[in-house]
Structure 1
């Protein structure tokens, strides 16, 4: 790729400018009939390119796995102590290889886990999510949730339930 991950995160770039190698990726994407298939083709391409070009350091890979294991409820200080690197170095390398700061990555993982709970658990109680994912209070959770989903959890749950009934599914 022409750019490191940290320079393309949250940016709009023409795909052909982004990639050096195979320009047929655009054709391959366009040939797909569904959005899901287009995403799959793009992800396979990006994974192959990034695997070839830039090996992620083991401590960054370990940190990402640790964040997922803790459902995003881990501090950068804990990660630094666990990996043996300084907070500053870990943050810098994490951003270089992952494309975002580790704190933001943790927040995204926490919100993804809360969204999964909201979507798939019938016995969903807000206090369960707060406790399980380490939110300080309800307003902190709702604020972070809205930041990434544009809606508070209760409205999103209603929207998902209504949409599932509209297409014949059951939530």
Structure 2
């Protein structure tokens, strides 16, 4: 299986955090694991075989274009090739503002986008005919940019998100709310309606992602060093939170990489 991540223009980055493309030209079955990253997303895939999303004990066979929300539980997507699978991570609130799907309802879930909503974009069908992941990526990004053409981020919450990302999740929410001129309770409510998570949950996920990047890095750092660099109080706190998002302890997770 080939995996690639294209560079995005500044215009595209106003709505899309990143894009990942997975493709396979063999009949081999693949299981793609995904963990909490703080961003909902939109997917377009093509396969002659069913594509199934597993969340905990539940499973769902998906249609070619679907949207997913914030993920707290680990997700596994099972596909059998040949296939291409394009995933665009969206900035929080883009889903609700552009697609009309309440972000809170999407947490740990996914909704099909009706074919009538995307069939008019010619590259969707052309990418399937030519089995082209590049055309598929273009189709998905064009669809998102058209749907999100009128999206305007909440300036206060956008600043809040950017600061949490910049600090890699190591923010004190109380201090952040005062900086933004909001009570902590008001920030909690507005942030959850905007992002689908509380600021504390979002911060925990971003810090977890920072630790996951360290764990997956070429340099095999000690777990104590990863915990320290990622901002955890101690190694046991790091292990507990890592396990809550992956259902595995860090050293077991590393063994499987």
Indicate if the aligned counterparts of 2:124 and 2:135 stay in contact, CA closer than 8 A.
no
2:81 is matched with: none
Structure 2 runs not aligned, ≥5 long: 1-98
Runs of 4+ in 1 over 3 A off after TM superposition: 20-25, 32-48
Matching of residue 113 in structure 1 with residue 210 in structure 2: yes
- Could you tell me which of 232, 235, 238 is aligned with 1:135? 232
1:28 is matched with: 124
Output aligned runs, 1:37-116, within 5 Å.
Answer: 42=140, 45-46=143-144, 48-50=146-148, 52=150, 54-116=151-213
Q: Distance in 2 between matches of 1:144 and 1:36?
A: 37
2:110 is matched with: 12
* Shift, 1:74, TM fit: 0.8
For residues 29-78 of structure 1, give each alpha carbon's deviation from its aligned partner in whole angstroms, at most 9, with x where no partner exists: 873858898678546644653452x4221111111111111110112112
1:168 is matched with: none
Structure 1 runs not aligned, ≥5 long: 161-171
* Shift, 1:137, TM fit: 2.3
Could you state the TM-score of these two structures normalised by the residue count of structure 2?
A: 0.52
* Aligned length, in residue pairs: 157
Q: Distance in 1 between matches of 2:169 and 2:255?
A: 25
Could you state the TM-score of these two structures normalised by the residue count of structure 1?
A: 0.74
The structure that is strand-richer by fraction is: 2
Report the RMSD for the aligned CA atoms in angstroms: 3.0
Indicate if the aligned counterparts of 1:56 and 1:97 stay in contact, CA closer than 8 A.
no
